[in-house]
């Protein structure tokens, strides 16, 4: 509503300005129409620059500029060797190198920003391999452990709107939400103190976008960055828009140990299972191990033999039998 009112005021200002200027020359109607058209064009240009990647635009402009200069320089040694009329050749070279330079600059200018240009002028390297931190992955805390191992490279981007969301959660009246928010802030402090890890807070915001997930996707597209998250829905939405997502949960599932039917393991039977006479144990990574005929072993550590492995959307489940039961069943089968 506020943006609509602001745009209406801008158009009215241009309309009034055009009318007053045209009235002084005796063309009130033409002046008003010209002011109205200029106001609409201004709003259109504003919308265009909100949607376009500024880095690509700057890169395309610089590519076109240097392409035309290169075409001119190429023509200088050719002038004495060719006929006097070089208009056709000049047009062809300008078009070829100008278009080529513009496309190269458009492709390479994804991360080119005003701060990036200043870094280049100072002789500092351009920031690449950017990763944006989501609220869920900060509160989860495992990202700090991964960073300590050195597997995360590049610059970690912390948007100001994510930091504000964390602060809002930390100030919540709900004790659980408050604890989660404060844990997230502690994780950020821990990451900022790590040597060799650069956490950069960016002020970039998108007032026209209300949802935080949509802001993250827009920022990732603008910076050509990846998103670090645990949010399944954000993962899907970002993937649909061509943004690369690094999901910590998917990484944890990929790192779970692989077990095959017939292998043996040692587990602690923690509780009773859903089915009759079942026991339930857990591996160190949280994988559930269902022990057939394991109810009598609750509270004990036993050796089991894997019978099957089931991969579900909730995770991996391992089905097993106590080692002694397998031996007895093999003896009975032999008889």
Same domain as 226, residue 274: no
What confidence tens digit (pLDDT) does each residue in 229-280 have? 988 888 888 888 888 899 888 888 777 777 888 889 899 999 988 888 899 9
What does the alpha-carbon distance between residue 232 and residue 169 come to, in Å, rounded to a whole number? 20
Give residue 118's pLDDT band: very low, low, confident or very high (50, 70, 90). Answer: low
| Assigned domain for 113 exists | no
| pLDDT for 279 | 93
Q: Are residues 239 and 217 in the same domain?
A: yes
**224/328 same-domain check:** no
How far is Cα 23 from Cα 86, in angstroms, rounded to an integer? 50
In a domain, 94, yes or no: yes
pLDDT at 48: 64
Rg (CA), the chain: 32
Token pair of 47, please? 């919308």
What local confidence, expressed as pLDDT, does residue 67 receive?
85
Q: Please report, for the chain, how many H helices and E strands are present, in that order.
A: 13, 10
Pair 195, 98 in one domain = no
My answer on whether 174 and 201 are in the same domain is yes
Is residue 123 in a domain? no
For residue 81, the 8-state DSSP code is: G
69 vs 3: CA distance, rounded Å: 42
Task: Give mean pLDDT, residues 61-90.
Answer: 76
Same structural domain, 140 and 244: yes
| Burial grade of 305 (CB within 10 A; 0-12, 13-18, 19 or more) | middle
Residues 304 and 244 in one domain: no
pLDDT surpasses 60 at 294: yes
For the chain, how are helix, strand and coil distributed in percent, rounded to 5? Answer: 55, 15, 25
Report d(CA 200, CA 205) in Å as an integer.
15
What integer pLDDT is reported at residue 89 of this predicted model?
A: 72
When mean pLDDT is compared across 19-23, 115-119, 149-153, 298-302, the lowest value belongs to 115-119
Q: Is 60 helix (H, G, I), strand (E, B) or coil?
A: helix
Same domain, 218 and 319: no
Rounded to the nearest 10 degrees, what angle do helices 175-192 and 160-170 cross at? 140
Residue 229 lies in a domain: yes
Is residue 335 predicted with pLDDT exceeding 60? no
* Average pLDDT value over all residues in the chain: 80
This prediction's pTM: 0.55
> How many domains does the structure of the chain reveal?
3
Q: Determine the structural domain holding residue 42 and report its residue range.
A: 2-108
Q: Are residues 103 and 194 located together in one domain of the fold?
A: no
Element (H, E) at 51: helix 28-51
Per residue in 7-65, pLDDT (tens digit) is 777 778 877 877 777 777 777 788 778 878 887 787 777 666 666 666 677 777 888 88
Among 187, 221, 254, the domain-final residue is 254
Do 239 and 308 have their domain in common? Answer: no
What is the distance, to the nearest Å, from the Cα of residue 226 to the centroid of all Cα atoms in its chain? Answer: 3
Task: Give 316 or 296, the one with higher predicted confidence.
Answer: 296
Looking up residue 207, the CATH number of its domain turns out to be 3.40.50.1010
Q: Is the dihedral of CA 307, 308, 309, 310 positive or negative?
A: negative
State the pLDDT at residue 305: 92
Residue 42 lies in a domain: yes
**What would the pLDDT profile of 318-331 be if each residue is shown by its tens digit?**
899 998 765 555 44
Q: Mean pLDDT over residues 208-215, rounded?
A: 86
Same domain, 78 and 184: no
The answer to whether position 318 is within a domain reads yes
How much is the pLDDT for 50?
60
Q: With respect to residue 125, please indicate whether it lies within any of the assigned structural domains.
A: no
Percentage of the chain beyond pLDDT 90 is 18
Residue 272, SS3 per DSSP: strand
| Judgement on whether residues 233 and 297 belong to the same structural domain of the protein | no
Q: What is residue 205's predicted lDDT score, i.e. its pLDDT? A: 81
Average pLDDT over every residue of 154-167: 89
In a domain, 247, yes or no: yes
């Amino acid at each position: 509503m506020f943006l609509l009112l602001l745009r209406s005021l801008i158009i009215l200002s241009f309309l009034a300005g055009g009318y007053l200027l045209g009235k002084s020359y005796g063309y009130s109607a033409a002046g008003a129409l010209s002011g109205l058209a200029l106001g609409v064009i201004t709003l259109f240009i504003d919308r265009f620059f909100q949607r376009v990647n500024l880095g690509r635009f700057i890169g395309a402009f610089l590519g076109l500029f240097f392409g035309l200069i290169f075409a001119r320089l190429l023509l200088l040694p050719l002038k004495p060797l060719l006929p006097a009329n070089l208009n056709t050749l000049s047009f062809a070279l300008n078009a070829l190198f100008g278009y080529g330079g513009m496309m190269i600059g458009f492709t390479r200018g994804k991360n080119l920003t005003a701060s990036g240009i200043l870094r280049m002028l100072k002789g500092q390297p351009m920031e690449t391999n950017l990763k944006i931190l989501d609220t869920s992955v900060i509160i989860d805390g495992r990202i700090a452990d991964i960073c300590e191992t050195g597997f995360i490279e590049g610059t970690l981007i912390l948007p100001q709107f994510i930091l504000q969301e964390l602060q809002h959660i930390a100030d919540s009246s709900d004790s659980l939400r408050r604890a989660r928010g404060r844990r997230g802030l502690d994780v950020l402090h821990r990451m900022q103190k790590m040597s060799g890890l650069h956490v950069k807070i960016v002020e970039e915001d998108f007032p026209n976008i209300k949802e935080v997930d949509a802001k993250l996707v827009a920022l990732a597209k603008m910076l050509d960055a990846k998103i670090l998250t645990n949010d399944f829905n954000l993962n899907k939405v970002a993937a649909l828009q061509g943004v690369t997502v690094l999901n910590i949960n998917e990484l944890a599932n990929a790192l779970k140990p692989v077990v095959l039917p017939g292998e043996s393991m040692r587990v602690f039977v923690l509780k009773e299972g859903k089915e009759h006479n079942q026991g339930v144990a857990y591996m160190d990574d949280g994988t559930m191990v269902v022990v057939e005929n394991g109810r009598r072993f609750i509270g004990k550590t036993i050796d089991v033999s894997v019978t099957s492995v089931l991969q579900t959307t909730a995770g991996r489940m391992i089905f097993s039998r106590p080692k002694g039961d397998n031996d007895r069943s093999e003896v009975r089968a032999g008889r």
